[in-house]
Amino acid sequence: MSIIETTDSYILHTYKRFPVALVSGRGAELVDDSGKSYIDLGSGIAVNTFGAADPEWISAITEQAGKLAHSSNLYYTEPGAELAKLLCEKTGMSKVFFGNSGAEANECAIKAARRYALHTKGEGHHNIISLKGSFHGRTLATLTATGQDGFHTEFGPFPEGFVYADPHTPGDLTRLAMQDNCCAVMLEVVQGEGGVNPLSDEFIKEVNEVAEKYSLLVIADEVQTGNGRTGKLYGYMNFDLHPDIVTTAKGLGGGLPIGAVLFNERCSEALSYGTHGSTFGANPICCAGALSVLKRIDDKLLSEVCRKSEYIVNELTGAKGVVSVSGLGLMLGIETTRPAGEIIAGCLERGVLLLSAKNKVRLLPPLSITMEQLETAVKILKEELSK
Ligand SMILES: *Cc1c(COP(=O)(O)O)cnc(C)c1O
Protein backbone atom coordinates (compact mmCIF):
# COMPACT_ATOMS: atom_id res chain seq x y z
CA MET A 1 0.00 0.00 0.00
CA SER A 2 1.13 3.58 -0.62
CA ILE A 3 1.53 6.07 2.22
CA ILE A 4 -1.77 7.63 1.20
CA GLU A 5 -3.64 4.31 1.08
CA THR A 6 -2.27 3.16 4.44
CA THR A 7 -3.16 6.50 6.01
CA ASP A 8 -6.69 6.39 4.67
CA SER A 9 -7.08 2.80 5.86
CA TYR A 10 -5.81 3.27 9.39
CA ILE A 11 -5.99 6.94 10.45
CA LEU A 12 -9.30 8.48 11.40
CA HIS A 13 -10.70 10.63 8.60
CA THR A 14 -10.80 13.92 10.51
CA TYR A 15 -8.61 15.83 8.06
CA LYS A 16 -9.04 16.96 4.49
CA ARG A 17 -5.54 16.27 3.19
CA PHE A 18 -3.79 17.36 0.02
CA PRO A 19 -2.89 14.31 -2.11
CA VAL A 20 0.81 14.60 -1.30
CA ALA A 21 2.99 12.42 0.97
CA LEU A 22 5.94 14.47 2.22
CA VAL A 23 9.12 12.64 3.12
CA SER A 24 11.90 15.17 3.64
CA GLY A 25 12.97 18.76 3.27
CA ARG A 26 15.51 21.48 3.88
CA GLY A 27 14.44 24.93 4.97
CA ALA A 28 11.45 26.04 2.87
CA GLU A 29 11.94 23.23 0.36
CA LEU A 30 9.96 20.01 0.89
CA VAL A 31 10.12 16.76 -1.10
CA ASP A 32 7.37 14.19 -1.63
CA ASP A 33 7.60 10.42 -2.05
CA SER A 34 7.89 10.73 -5.83
CA GLY A 35 10.87 13.07 -5.52
CA LYS A 36 8.92 16.19 -6.52
CA SER A 37 9.97 19.29 -4.60
CA TYR A 38 7.83 22.14 -3.29
CA ILE A 39 8.36 25.62 -1.88
CA ASP A 40 6.61 25.59 1.48
CA LEU A 41 4.48 28.64 2.29
CA GLY A 42 2.66 26.90 5.16
CA SER A 43 5.36 25.75 7.64
CA GLY A 44 3.18 22.87 8.82
CA ILE A 45 0.69 25.55 9.96
CA ALA A 46 3.14 28.11 11.39
CA VAL A 47 5.19 25.46 13.18
CA ASN A 48 8.43 25.08 11.23
CA THR A 49 9.84 28.51 12.13
CA PHE A 50 13.18 27.76 10.48
CA GLY A 51 11.81 25.29 7.95
CA ALA A 52 12.56 21.58 7.69
CA ALA A 53 15.73 19.89 8.93
CA ASP A 54 17.16 23.11 10.35
CA PRO A 55 20.76 22.22 11.35
CA GLU A 56 20.83 24.22 14.60
CA TRP A 57 17.53 22.78 15.75
CA ILE A 58 18.62 19.23 14.82
CA SER A 59 21.81 19.50 16.81
CA ALA A 60 19.94 20.95 19.84
CA ILE A 61 17.37 18.15 19.94
CA THR A 62 19.71 15.28 19.09
CA GLU A 63 22.20 16.36 21.72
CA GLN A 64 19.42 16.47 24.31
CA ALA A 65 17.98 13.12 23.12
CA GLY A 66 21.41 11.59 23.70
CA LYS A 67 21.38 12.83 27.30
CA LEU A 68 17.82 12.68 28.62
CA ALA A 69 14.61 12.63 26.57
CA HIS A 70 12.13 12.84 29.42
CA SER A 71 12.06 13.04 33.18
CA SER A 72 8.54 14.21 34.20
CA ASN A 73 8.00 17.24 36.41
CA LEU A 74 8.91 15.31 39.54
CA TYR A 75 12.48 16.43 38.90
CA TYR A 76 14.32 19.53 37.68
CA THR A 77 15.82 19.68 34.18
CA GLU A 78 17.89 22.35 32.47
CA PRO A 79 16.23 22.93 29.06
CA GLY A 80 12.84 23.86 30.56
CA ALA A 81 14.48 26.15 33.10
CA GLU A 82 16.53 27.92 30.44
CA LEU A 83 13.59 28.23 28.05
CA ALA A 84 11.34 29.71 30.75
CA LYS A 85 14.09 32.17 31.71
CA LEU A 86 14.59 33.29 28.10
CA LEU A 87 10.82 33.65 27.53
CA CYS A 88 10.54 35.86 30.62
CA GLU A 89 13.63 37.90 29.75
CA LYS A 90 12.39 38.54 26.21
CA THR A 91 8.82 39.50 27.22
CA GLY A 92 9.02 40.94 30.73
CA MET A 93 6.62 38.27 31.95
CA SER A 94 7.27 36.57 35.32
CA LYS A 95 6.46 32.87 35.17
CA VAL A 96 5.85 30.12 32.60
CA PHE A 97 3.83 26.90 32.54
CA PHE A 98 4.71 24.34 29.85
CA GLY A 99 2.30 21.99 28.10
CA ASN A 100 2.25 20.31 24.72
CA SER A 101 -0.07 22.23 22.41
CA GLY A 102 -1.98 25.42 21.78
CA ALA A 103 -5.27 24.07 23.06
CA GLU A 104 -3.66 22.94 26.30
CA ALA A 105 -1.98 26.32 26.74
CA ASN A 106 -5.38 27.97 26.38
CA GLU A 107 -6.99 25.50 28.81
CA CYS A 108 -4.33 26.45 31.34
CA ALA A 109 -4.97 30.17 30.78
CA ILE A 110 -8.72 29.66 31.26
CA LYS A 111 -8.17 27.75 34.52
CA ALA A 112 -5.72 30.39 35.75
CA ALA A 113 -8.07 33.29 34.95
CA ARG A 114 -10.97 31.63 36.76
CA ARG A 115 -8.90 30.83 39.83
CA TYR A 116 -7.41 34.32 39.87
CA ALA A 117 -10.91 35.84 39.77
CA LEU A 118 -12.14 33.47 42.49
CA HIS A 119 -9.34 34.62 44.78
CA THR A 120 -9.49 38.33 43.93
CA LYS A 121 -13.21 38.93 43.26
CA GLY A 122 -14.95 35.98 44.91
CA GLU A 123 -17.43 33.56 43.33
CA GLY A 124 -19.49 34.24 40.21
CA HIS A 125 -16.87 35.85 37.97
CA HIS A 126 -16.02 32.86 35.83
CA ASN A 127 -16.99 34.06 32.36
CA ILE A 128 -14.31 34.27 29.71
CA ILE A 129 -15.06 36.83 27.01
CA SER A 130 -13.69 35.64 23.69
CA LEU A 131 -14.19 37.20 20.28
CA LYS A 132 -16.43 36.37 17.38
CA GLY A 133 -14.32 34.89 14.60
CA SER A 134 -11.71 33.54 17.00
CA PHE A 135 -10.11 30.10 17.16
CA HIS A 136 -8.68 28.74 20.40
CA GLY A 137 -8.43 24.96 19.98
CA ARG A 138 -10.20 21.61 19.82
CA THR A 139 -10.67 20.56 23.44
CA LEU A 140 -14.16 21.05 24.85
CA ALA A 141 -13.31 24.28 26.70
CA THR A 142 -11.24 25.81 23.90
CA LEU A 143 -13.85 24.79 21.30
CA THR A 144 -16.39 26.62 23.43
CA ALA A 145 -14.06 29.63 23.66
CA THR A 146 -13.80 29.59 19.86
CA GLY A 147 -16.19 32.31 18.71
CA GLN A 148 -17.54 30.60 15.61
CA ASP A 149 -20.95 28.93 15.72
CA GLY A 150 -19.84 26.11 13.41
CA PHE A 151 -17.66 24.74 16.20
CA HIS A 152 -20.51 24.67 18.72
CA THR A 153 -22.46 21.72 17.38
CA GLU A 154 -22.56 17.97 17.89
CA PHE A 155 -20.33 17.72 20.97
CA GLY A 156 -22.57 19.16 23.64
CA PRO A 157 -23.07 19.70 26.47
CA PHE A 158 -20.35 22.34 26.32
CA PRO A 159 -18.75 23.87 29.43
CA GLU A 160 -20.42 26.99 30.75
CA GLY A 161 -18.86 30.37 31.20
CA PHE A 162 -17.99 31.64 27.74
CA VAL A 163 -19.46 34.74 26.10
CA TYR A 164 -18.57 36.31 22.77
CA ALA A 165 -17.87 39.93 21.87
CA ASP A 166 -17.96 41.22 18.32
CA PRO A 167 -14.69 43.10 17.72
CA HIS A 168 -16.34 45.01 14.84
CA THR A 169 -19.19 46.42 16.97
CA PRO A 170 -17.95 49.20 19.26
CA GLY A 171 -19.34 48.77 22.77
CA ASP A 172 -20.15 45.06 22.42
CA LEU A 173 -17.20 44.04 24.59
CA THR A 174 -18.12 46.70 27.15
CA ARG A 175 -21.72 45.43 27.26
CA LEU A 176 -20.49 41.95 28.24
CA ALA A 177 -17.83 43.18 30.66
CA MET A 178 -20.38 45.36 32.50
CA GLN A 179 -22.36 42.31 33.58
CA ASP A 180 -19.83 41.77 36.34
CA ASN A 181 -19.56 38.01 35.90
CA CYS A 182 -16.36 37.92 33.84
CA CYS A 183 -12.75 37.18 34.67
CA ALA A 184 -10.90 37.66 31.39
CA VAL A 185 -10.87 38.75 27.77
CA MET A 186 -9.19 36.24 25.47
CA LEU A 187 -8.08 37.31 22.00
CA GLU A 188 -5.82 36.73 19.01
CA VAL A 189 -4.37 40.06 17.80
CA VAL A 190 -4.59 38.62 14.29
CA GLN A 191 -7.37 36.07 14.01
CA GLY A 192 -5.70 33.26 12.10
CA GLU A 193 -8.19 30.50 11.38
CA GLY A 194 -10.90 33.16 11.34
CA GLY A 195 -9.45 34.65 8.12
CA VAL A 196 -6.14 36.38 8.98
CA ASN A 197 -7.83 39.50 10.34
CA PRO A 198 -5.92 41.87 12.65
CA LEU A 199 -7.87 43.55 15.43
CA SER A 200 -8.27 47.31 15.07
CA ASP A 201 -6.48 49.82 17.30
CA GLU A 202 -9.91 51.10 18.40
CA PHE A 203 -10.91 47.65 19.57
CA ILE A 204 -7.60 47.19 21.43
CA LYS A 205 -8.35 50.52 23.15
CA GLU A 206 -11.73 49.18 24.25
CA VAL A 207 -10.01 46.01 25.57
CA ASN A 208 -7.63 48.14 27.65
CA GLU A 209 -10.50 50.26 28.98
CA VAL A 210 -12.72 47.38 30.08
CA ALA A 211 -9.80 45.37 31.48
CA GLU A 212 -8.90 48.31 33.70
CA LYS A 213 -12.44 49.28 34.66
CA TYR A 214 -13.75 45.77 35.39
CA SER A 215 -10.48 44.17 36.60
CA LEU A 216 -10.33 41.62 33.79
CA LEU A 217 -7.24 39.69 32.84
CA VAL A 218 -6.18 40.02 29.22
CA ILE A 219 -5.22 36.69 27.66
CA ALA A 220 -3.36 36.95 24.35
CA ASP A 221 -3.60 33.71 22.36
CA GLU A 222 -0.29 33.84 20.50
CA VAL A 223 -0.37 30.24 19.37
CA GLN A 224 -0.24 31.29 15.71
CA THR A 225 0.85 34.95 15.93
CA GLY A 226 3.73 34.24 18.30
CA ASN A 227 7.43 33.54 17.98
CA GLY A 228 8.33 36.09 15.32
CA ARG A 229 5.51 35.32 12.92
CA THR A 230 4.08 38.86 12.78
CA GLY A 231 7.42 40.68 12.65
CA LYS A 232 7.56 41.10 16.44
CA LEU A 233 8.46 38.39 18.95
CA TYR A 234 4.79 38.21 19.98
CA GLY A 235 1.92 39.66 17.98
CA TYR A 236 0.63 41.87 20.82
CA MET A 237 3.91 43.82 20.60
CA ASN A 238 2.57 45.36 17.38
CA PHE A 239 -0.22 46.99 19.43
CA ASP A 240 -0.68 49.05 22.59
CA LEU A 241 -1.63 45.88 24.45
CA HIS A 242 -0.13 44.51 27.67
CA PRO A 243 -1.55 41.03 28.30
CA ASP A 244 -1.53 39.42 31.73
CA ILE A 245 -1.36 35.95 30.22
CA VAL A 246 0.21 34.94 26.88
CA THR A 247 -0.36 31.49 25.42
CA THR A 248 1.83 30.15 22.66
CA ALA A 249 2.70 26.89 20.90
CA LYS A 250 3.05 26.13 17.14
CA GLY A 251 6.24 27.95 16.06
CA LEU A 252 7.85 27.89 19.51
CA GLY A 253 9.00 24.28 19.17
CA GLY A 254 10.19 24.61 15.58
CA GLY A 255 8.63 21.22 14.77
CA LEU A 256 8.23 19.45 18.11
CA PRO A 257 5.08 19.74 20.23
CA ILE A 258 5.30 22.32 22.99
CA GLY A 259 2.94 24.88 24.45
CA ALA A 260 3.73 27.64 26.93
CA VAL A 261 1.67 29.95 29.09
CA LEU A 262 3.36 33.15 30.25
CA PHE A 263 2.06 34.97 33.33
CA ASN A 264 2.89 38.52 34.36
CA GLU A 265 3.63 39.50 37.95
CA ARG A 266 -0.03 40.25 38.68
CA CYS A 267 -1.27 36.71 38.11
CA SER A 268 1.89 34.65 38.51
CA GLU A 269 0.37 33.01 41.59
CA ALA A 270 -2.95 32.23 39.91
CA LEU A 271 -2.09 28.53 39.67
CA SER A 272 -0.35 27.18 42.74
CA TYR A 273 1.06 23.87 43.90
CA GLY A 274 -1.08 20.94 42.77
CA THR A 275 -3.61 22.92 40.71
CA HIS A 276 -2.33 22.08 37.23
CA GLY A 277 0.11 19.76 35.50
CA SER A 278 1.18 17.90 32.38
CA THR A 279 3.25 14.71 32.17
CA PHE A 280 5.16 15.86 29.10
CA GLY A 281 5.25 19.53 30.12
CA ALA A 282 8.76 21.02 29.74
CA ASN A 283 9.91 17.87 27.95
CA PRO A 284 13.69 18.31 27.65
CA ILE A 285 13.91 17.57 23.91
CA CYS A 286 11.02 19.90 23.04
CA CYS A 287 12.49 22.62 25.27
CA ALA A 288 15.98 22.22 23.78
CA GLY A 289 14.45 22.60 20.30
CA ALA A 290 12.40 25.61 21.40
CA LEU A 291 15.46 27.25 22.96
CA SER A 292 17.34 26.95 19.69
CA VAL A 293 14.39 28.65 17.94
CA LEU A 294 13.74 31.39 20.49
CA LYS A 295 17.42 32.36 20.74
CA ARG A 296 17.46 33.20 17.05
CA ILE A 297 14.31 35.36 17.02
CA ASP A 298 16.24 38.61 17.34
CA ASP A 299 15.90 42.08 15.82
CA LYS A 300 17.80 41.04 12.71
CA LEU A 301 15.47 38.11 12.01
CA LEU A 302 12.39 40.21 12.78
CA SER A 303 13.44 42.92 10.33
CA GLU A 304 13.95 40.18 7.72
CA VAL A 305 10.40 38.99 8.43
CA CYS A 306 9.11 42.54 7.87
CA ARG A 307 11.11 42.91 4.65
CA LYS A 308 9.78 39.62 3.25
CA SER A 309 6.28 40.59 4.32
CA GLU A 310 6.53 43.92 2.50
CA TYR A 311 7.73 42.15 -0.61
CA ILE A 312 4.72 39.80 -0.63
CA VAL A 313 2.23 42.56 0.19
CA ASN A 314 3.63 44.84 -2.52
CA GLU A 315 3.58 42.07 -5.12
CA LEU A 316 0.04 40.95 -4.34
CA THR A 317 -1.79 44.17 -3.50
CA GLY A 318 -3.76 45.17 -6.59
CA ALA A 319 -2.52 42.14 -8.56
CA LYS A 320 -4.95 40.49 -10.95
CA GLY A 321 -7.34 38.20 -9.07
CA VAL A 322 -6.58 39.73 -5.66
CA VAL A 323 -9.38 41.49 -3.78
CA SER A 324 -7.43 42.31 -0.64
CA VAL A 325 -4.36 41.34 1.40
CA SER A 326 -4.58 41.18 5.19
CA GLY A 327 -2.40 40.18 8.12
CA LEU A 328 0.94 41.08 9.66
CA GLY A 329 4.48 39.92 9.00
CA LEU A 330 4.63 36.46 7.47
CA MET A 331 1.03 35.71 8.45
CA LEU A 332 -0.92 36.90 5.43
CA GLY A 333 -4.36 36.28 3.96
CA ILE A 334 -5.34 36.90 0.36
CA GLU A 335 -8.94 37.44 -0.59
CA THR A 336 -9.24 36.18 -4.15
CA THR A 337 -11.71 36.55 -7.00
CA ARG A 338 -11.51 32.83 -7.87
CA PRO A 339 -12.25 30.30 -5.08
CA ALA A 340 -9.19 30.01 -2.80
CA GLY A 341 -9.25 26.21 -3.10
CA GLU A 342 -8.68 26.36 -6.87
CA ILE A 343 -5.67 28.64 -6.46
CA ILE A 344 -4.18 26.46 -3.73
CA ALA A 345 -4.68 23.33 -5.89
CA GLY A 346 -3.12 25.05 -8.92
CA CYS A 347 -0.09 26.14 -6.89
CA LEU A 348 0.31 22.67 -5.37
CA GLU A 349 0.42 21.19 -8.86
CA ARG A 350 3.20 23.66 -9.69
CA GLY A 351 5.20 23.00 -6.53
CA VAL A 352 4.05 25.68 -4.09
CA LEU A 353 2.35 24.70 -0.82
CA LEU A 354 -0.26 27.10 0.57
CA LEU A 355 -2.96 27.08 3.22
CA SER A 356 -6.46 28.47 3.44
CA ALA A 357 -8.31 30.38 6.15
CA LYS A 358 -12.05 30.78 5.65
CA ASN A 359 -12.41 32.05 2.07
CA LYS A 360 -8.81 33.24 1.83
CA VAL A 361 -5.49 31.86 0.66
CA ARG A 362 -3.21 31.93 3.71
CA LEU A 363 0.58 32.29 3.71
CA LEU A 364 2.67 31.22 6.72
CA PRO A 365 6.11 30.57 5.21
CA PRO A 366 9.10 29.59 7.34
CA LEU A 367 10.62 32.83 8.69
CA SER A 368 13.92 31.72 7.15
CA ILE A 369 12.59 31.32 3.59
CA THR A 370 15.10 32.79 1.15
CA MET A 371 14.18 35.77 -1.05
CA GLU A 372 14.86 33.60 -4.08
CA GLN A 373 12.37 30.96 -2.92
CA LEU A 374 9.87 33.66 -2.08
CA GLU A 375 10.22 35.28 -5.51
CA THR A 376 9.70 31.95 -7.28
CA ALA A 377 6.68 31.07 -5.14
CA VAL A 378 5.06 34.51 -5.46
CA LYS A 379 5.51 34.44 -9.24
CA ILE A 380 3.67 31.12 -9.46
CA LEU A 381 1.01 32.31 -7.02
CA LYS A 382 0.42 35.49 -9.06
CA GLU A 383 0.05 33.45 -12.25
CA GLU A 384 -2.53 31.21 -10.59
CA LEU A 385 -4.37 34.19 -9.09
CA SER A 386 -4.67 35.88 -12.47
CA LYS A 387 -6.15 32.88 -14.31
C1 LIG B 1 -3.65 26.36 16.16
C2 LIG B 1 -4.24 27.26 17.18
C3 LIG B 1 -4.67 26.77 18.43
C4 LIG B 1 -4.66 25.30 18.76
O5 LIG B 1 -3.37 24.80 18.83
P6 LIG B 1 -3.13 23.20 18.88
O7 LIG B 1 -1.65 23.08 19.07
O8 LIG B 1 -3.62 22.65 17.58
O9 LIG B 1 -3.90 22.68 20.03
C10 LIG B 1 -5.13 27.68 19.36
N11 LIG B 1 -5.18 29.00 19.10
C12 LIG B 1 -4.79 29.51 17.92
C13 LIG B 1 -4.84 30.98 17.70
C14 LIG B 1 -4.31 28.66 16.91
O15 LIG B 1 -3.95 29.16 15.72
| pLDDT, tens digit (0-9, with 9 covering 90-100), for 243-270 | 999 999 999 999 999 999 999 999 999 9
CA distance 179 to 293: 42
Q: Please say whether the beta carbons of 20 and 341 come within 8 A.
A: no
Name the closest-CA residue to atom 11, ligand 1.
136
pLDDT category, 190, cuts 50, 70, 90? very high
pTM of the model: 0.98
Q: How far is the CA of 104 from the centre of ligand 1 (A)?
A: 9
Q: How far is the CA of 372 from the centre of ligand 1 (A)?
A: 30
Tell me the pLDDT tens digit for each residue of 281-305.
999 999 999 999 999 999 999 999 9
Q: Please say whether the beta carbons of 274 and 111 come within 8 A.
A: no
pLDDT category, 158, cuts 50, 70, 90? very high
Q: How far is the CA of 157 from the centre of ligand 1 (A)?
A: 22
Name the closest-CA residue to atom 6, ligand 1.
102
SS3 letters across the chain: CCHHHHHHHHCCCCCCCCCCCEEEEEECEEEECCCCEEEECCHHHHCCCCCECCHHHHHHHHHHHHHCCCCCCCCCCHHHHHHHHHHHHHHCCCEEEEECCHHHHHHHHHHHHHHHHHHHHCCCCCEEEEEECCCCCCCHHHHHHCECHHHCCCCCCCCCCEEEECCCCCCHHHHHHCCCCEEEEEECCEECCCCCEECCHHHHHHHHHHHHHCCCEEEEECCCCCCCCCCCCCHHHHCCCCCCEEEECHHHCECECCEEEEECHHHCCCCCCCCCCCCCCCCHHHHHHHHHHHCCCCHHHHHHHHHHHHHHHHHHCCCCCEEEEEEECCEEEEEECCCHHHHHHHHHHCCEECEEECCEEEECCCCCCCHHHHHHHHHHHHHHHCC
In ligand 1, the atom with minimum distance to the C-alpha of 221 is 13
Could you give the count of Cα atoms lying within 13 Å of 25 in the half-sphere of its Cβ? 23
pLDDT value of residue 384? 98
Q: How far is the CA of 234 from the centre of ligand 1 (A)?
A: 15
Q: Please say whether the beta carbons of 128 and 183 come within 8 A.
A: yes
Q: How far is the CA of 254 from the centre of ligand 1 (A)?
A: 15
pLDDT value of residue 310? 98
Name the closest-CA residue to atom 15, ligand 1.
224
Name the closest-CA residue to atom 10, ligand 1.
136
pLDDT value of residue 241? 98
Q: Which of 27, 50, 48, 49 is nearest to 37 (CA)?
A: 27
Q: How far is the CA of 383 from the centre of ligand 1 (A)?
A: 31
Q: How far is the CA of 386 from the centre of ligand 1 (A)?
A: 32
Tell me the pLDDT tens digit for each residue of 83-118.
999 999 999 999 999 999 999 999 999 999 999 999
Cβ count within 10 A of residue 120: 14
Name the closest-CA residue to atom 5, ligand 1.
102
Q: How far is the CA of 2 from the centre of ligand 1 (A)?
A: 30
pLDDT value of residue 312? 98
* Ligand 1 pocket test, candidate residues 98, 134, 135, 188, most atoms within 8 A of CB: 135
Ligand 1 site residues, Cβ closer than 6 angstroms: 101-103, 106, 135-137, 188, 192-193, 221, 223-224, 249-250
Q: How far is the CA of 102 from the centre of ligand 1 (A)?
A: 4
CA distance 260 to 282: 9
* Ligand 1 pocket test, candidate residues 106, 139, 224, 236, most atoms within 8 A of CB: 224
* Mean pLDDT score of the chain: 98
CA distance 14 to 334: 26
Q: Which of 146, 114, 107 is nearest to 130 (CA)?
A: 146
In ligand 1, the atom with minimum distance to the C-alpha of 101 is 7
Mean pLDDT of 16-29: 98
Tell me the pLDDT tens digit for each residue of 195-219.
999 999 999 999 999 999 999 999 9
Mean pLDDT of 39-68: 98
pLDDT category, 130, cuts 50, 70, 90? very high
Mean pLDDT of 42-71: 98
